[in-house]
């Protein structure tokens, strides 16, 4: 595979989806086989990509470039750096696991796998795009499959099914998407998700178009734009243009992350989605937001990032605390996990806001770690729902007798989500906390409170689901016994624990992507000097107020994940 690894990863799911169109739904095993096969190729290639990525060399590797539109200056420019590589790997793992989690989908299984594969492929496309146009292209492309996945295979919340007046149901579904916040139908969730994300995506696209126009380079290529685009000091509307572009891009992409005031689509969407979709959604789709901010705002507007990133430092506190409290009081398993995800994404924003080598590395590692942890939790919540047909925590209980394997895995999933030593989440969390302490001590305290909250709501949910007295009507529920059902959980657990004991490669890869970014953001580097000896300069230059606080390269730990 070699140089073409990215093409395999990106196009294997697409080819699988196209192949599935020509298969009949009656051949259930063939349908699953094609889906699993293409996901397996994607997974293999992404594992290869992860280990073949040369972290000593750094930069963008496995680059592929095909001219796509001469008139608009667009090319299909693919490549991964140390930040994209682990996220591609996470997508590959979650897609493969997701296929097995949804093995028992009966209704229109073929269509389900087609949309799931397209969703995953589009997500992966964002992680490897080096062209602003294609970044938006894949981003927007990942939103529409969510609508169909939620709408066709999703589920209503308990409250919705109890609503009896048909007229009320109708109104909630049609015009209710703006005014009625009480509706919890899956149609409502799907529509809200798509409109919300599209609305913010077009804001980000406006920012992209402004970059395109004012750079005057007639190209969307990120590598060209970050070297040659000069967007600073253009006065417009009483402020400068770079600030407007940055805000458009930041809030446009932060909506999918989801940052606090823009989060409301996310838990509703999680709750309505089928298990495999929730996994991909919380595991990788949400990371599109952070990743796109890093790829666009950090790369092209480094100085503005340094100036405006405190916004994220303020908002992330609300994310962490608000998400944590709502998760504590939520009664629906998927709401708990959904709000916990949105709370945990606040840590990533904190790590990004500190603009420090350690904290940003921690943030990227946390994205990877969180993908595994939340993937496990959603997979198991989906299993419990399939067995009991309810997600209402108070009505459940004592399931550990019926499903010992699942409850065992659930404990591990909670541990991972909390960040207990033994899982990669611990390393990532500690790096975020240590890295941000110098700059944002107050936020770090809030983050620690958030960890305590995580502990509280996850244990509360675990107790509610698996311990205590069991309602006899759930006595028919059974455990995940077959290899197909256990495989996805075992994969995610192995990855989560394995990287705790062997974090070095992950750390080095991420670090090789983070270093040049932070070096560029924390110092004003003339364009010419940047190509030569970046590392030496980064160590020597302490003139700017931020650089002296950042950990220089030489003293960064090179032999251990935990500083």
| Angle subtended by helix axes 483-501 and 424-437, to nearest 10 | 40
Cβ–Cβ < 8 Å for 297, 224 = no
For residues 206 and 546, which CB has a smaller minimum distance to other proteins in the complex? Answer: 206
Nearer to other proteins, 96 or 205 (CB): 205
**Minimal distance, residue 331 CB to other proteins, in Å:** 26
Shortest spacing between CB 527 and other proteins, in angstroms: 21
Question: Which CB atom, from 212 or from 366, has the smaller least distance to other proteins?
Answer: 212
Q: Give the nearer residue to other proteins in terms of CB position, either 35 or 76.
A: 76
Do 231 and 245 meet the contact criterion of CB atoms below 8 Å apart? yes
Alpha helices in 216-309, H assignment, sequence order: 222-228, 241-254, 265-272, 275-280, 287-292, 299-300, 302-308
CA–CA distance, 59 with 41 (Å, rounded to integer): 25
- Could you tell me the smallest distance in angstroms from the CB atom of residue 161 to other proteins? 16
Smallest Cα–Cα separation from 190: which of 158, 144, 231, 234?
Answer: 144
Question: Residue 164 CB: number of other CB atoms within 10 A?
Answer: 7
Rounded Cα gap, residues 237 and 235, in angstroms: 7
**Shortest Cβ 390–other proteins spacing (Å):** 22
Residue 80's φ and ψ, nearest 5 degrees, are: -125, 145
Residue 346 backbone dihedrals phi, psi, to 5 degrees: -60, -35
Give the separation between CA 181 and CA 177, rounded to whole angstroms: 8
Half-sphere exposure of 484 (CA within 13 A, CB side): 10
Name residue, tokens 């991420």: 510
> At closest approach, how far in Å is the CB of 31 from other proteins?
14
Report which DSSP code applies to 551.
P
Which DSSP category does 236 fall into?
Answer: E
Name the nearest CA neighbour of 90 among 271, 263, 282, 262. 282
CA distances (Å), 157 to each of 36, 271, 276, 533, in order? Answer: 30, 7, 17, 57
Alpha helices, DSSP H, located in 330-440: 333-353, 357-388, 399-402, 404-418, 424-437
Shortest Cβ distance from residue 173 to other proteins (Å)? 8
Closest approach of Cβ 490 to other proteins, in Å?
A: 34
d(C-alpha 314, C-alpha 98), whole Å: 35
DSSP string, 460-484: HHHHHHHSS---GGGTT-----SHH
Nearer to other proteins, 194 or 480 (CB): 194
Q: Closest Cα to residue 513, out of 299, 370, 304, 225? A: 299
Rg of the chain, C-alpha, whole Å? 23
Cβ-based nearer residue to other proteins, 69 or 161: 69
Q: For the CB of residue 111, give the shortest distance to other proteins in the complex, in Å.
A: 8
CB of 177 to other proteins, least distance (A): 8
Please report how close the Cβ of residue 21 comes to other proteins at its closest, in angstroms. 8
Residue numbers at the binding site for other proteins (CB under 8 A): 67-72, 108, 111, 133, 137-138, 140-141, 144, 147-148, 151-152, 174, 177, 186-187, 190-191, 194-195, 198-199, 202-203, 205-206, 209-210, 212-213, 218
Least distance in angstroms from the C-beta of 302 to other proteins:
23
User: 258 preceded by cis ω (within 30°)?
Assistant: yes
Closest by Cα among 376, 528, 553, 386 to 458: 376
Tokens of 146: 């969510």
**Whole-number Å distance between alpha carbons of 494 and 481:** 18
């Amino acid at each position: 595979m070699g140089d073409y690894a990215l093409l395999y990863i990106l196009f294997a799911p697409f080819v699988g989806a196209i192949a599935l169109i020509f298969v009949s739904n009656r051949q259930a095993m063939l349908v699953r086989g094609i889906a699993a096969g293409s996901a397996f190729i994607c997974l293999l290639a992404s594992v290869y990509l992860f280990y073949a990525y040369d972290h000593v060399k750094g930069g963008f590797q496995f680059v592929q470039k095909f001219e796509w539109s001469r008139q608009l200056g667009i090319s299909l420019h693919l490549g991964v750096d140390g930040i994209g590589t682990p996220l591609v790997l996470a997508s590959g793992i979650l897609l493969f696991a997701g296929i097995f989690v949804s093995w028992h989908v009966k209704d229109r299984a073929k269509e389900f796998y087609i949309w799931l594969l397209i969703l995953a492929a589009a997500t992966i496309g964002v992680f490897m795009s080096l062209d602003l146009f294609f970044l938006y292209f894949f981003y927007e492309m990942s939103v529409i499959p969510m609508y169909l996945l939620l709408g066709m295979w999703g589920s209503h919340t308990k409250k919705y099914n109890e609503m009896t007046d048909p007229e009320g149901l109708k109104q909630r579904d049609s015009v209710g998407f703006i005014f009625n916040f009480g509706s919890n139908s899956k149609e409502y969730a799907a529509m809200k998700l798509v409109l919300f994300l599209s609305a913010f995506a077009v804001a980000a696209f406006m920012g992209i178009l402004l970059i395109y126009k004012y750079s005057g380079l007639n190209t969307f290529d990120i590598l060209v734009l970050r070297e040659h685009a000069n967007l600073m000091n253009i006065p417009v509307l009483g402020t400068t243009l770079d600030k407007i572009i940055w805000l458009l891009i930041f809030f446009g992409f932060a909506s999918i992350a989801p940052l606090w005031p823009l989060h409301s689509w996310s838990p509703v969407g999680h709750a309505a989605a089928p298990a495999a979709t929730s996994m991909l959604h919380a595991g990788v789709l949400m990371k599109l937001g952070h990743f796109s901010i890093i790829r666009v705002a950090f790369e092209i507007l480094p100085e503005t990032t340094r100036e405006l990133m405190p916004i994220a430092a303020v908002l992330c506190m609300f994310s962490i605390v608000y998400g944590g409290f709502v998760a504590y009081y939520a009664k629906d398993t998927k709401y708990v996990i959904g709000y916990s995800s949105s709370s945990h994404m606040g840590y990533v924003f904190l790590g990004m806001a500190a603009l420090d080598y350690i904290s940003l590395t921690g943030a990227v590692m946390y994205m990877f770690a969180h993908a595994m942890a939340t993937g496990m939790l959603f997979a198991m919540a989906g299993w419990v729902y399939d067995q009991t047909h309810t997600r209402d925590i108070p009505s459940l209980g004592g399931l550990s007798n019926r499903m010992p394997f699942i409850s065992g895995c659930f404990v591990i999933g909670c541990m991972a989500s909390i960040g207990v030593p033994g899982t990669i989440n611990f390393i990532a969390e500690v790096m975020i906390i240590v890295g941000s302490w110098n700059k944002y001590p107050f936020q770090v305290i809030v983050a620690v409170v958030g960890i305590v909250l995580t502990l509280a709501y996850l244990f509360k949910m675990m107790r509610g689901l698996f311990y205590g007295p069991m309602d006899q009507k759930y006595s028919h529920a059974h455990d995940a016994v077959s290899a197909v059902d256990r495989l996805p959980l075992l994969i995610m657990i192995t990855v989560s624990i394995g990287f705790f004991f062997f974090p070095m490669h992950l750390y080095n890869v991420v670090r090789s992507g983070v270093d040049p970014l932070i070096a560029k953001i924390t110092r004003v580097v003339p364009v010419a000097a940047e190509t030569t000896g970046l590392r030496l300069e980064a160590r020597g230059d302490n003139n700017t107020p931020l650089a002296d606080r950042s950990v220089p390269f030489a003293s960064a730990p090179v032999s251990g994940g935990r500083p």
